[in-house]
Amino acid sequence: MFRCLLSGQCKKTTFFIRRGEVVYQKSNFAASSPSTGWDGSYHGQKASPAVYPYKIRVELINGSFLNYKGVVNLLR
pLDDT digit string, tens, across residues 20-50: 899 999 999 887 777 778 899 999 999 999 9
Q: Please state which architecture CATH assigns to domain 8-74.
A: Sandwich (2.60)
Residue 65 confidence (pLDDT) above 70:
yes
Rounded Cα distance, 52 and 32, in Å? 22
Q: How many CA atoms lie within 13 A of 31 on its CB side?
A: 17
pLDDT of residue 5: 57
Residue 55 confidence (pLDDT) above 80:
yes
Identify whether the C-beta of residue 58 lies closer than 8 Å to the C-beta of residue 68. yes
Single pTM value for the model: 0.81
Identify whether the C-beta of residue 54 lies closer than 8 Å to the C-beta of residue 72. yes
3-class DSSP state of 65: strand
Identify whether the C-beta of residue 26 lies closer than 8 Å to the C-beta of residue 46. no
Show me where the domains of the chain are located.
8-74
Residue 8: Cβ within 10 Å count: 18
Residue 1 confidence (pLDDT) above 80:
no
pLDDT of residue 42: 93
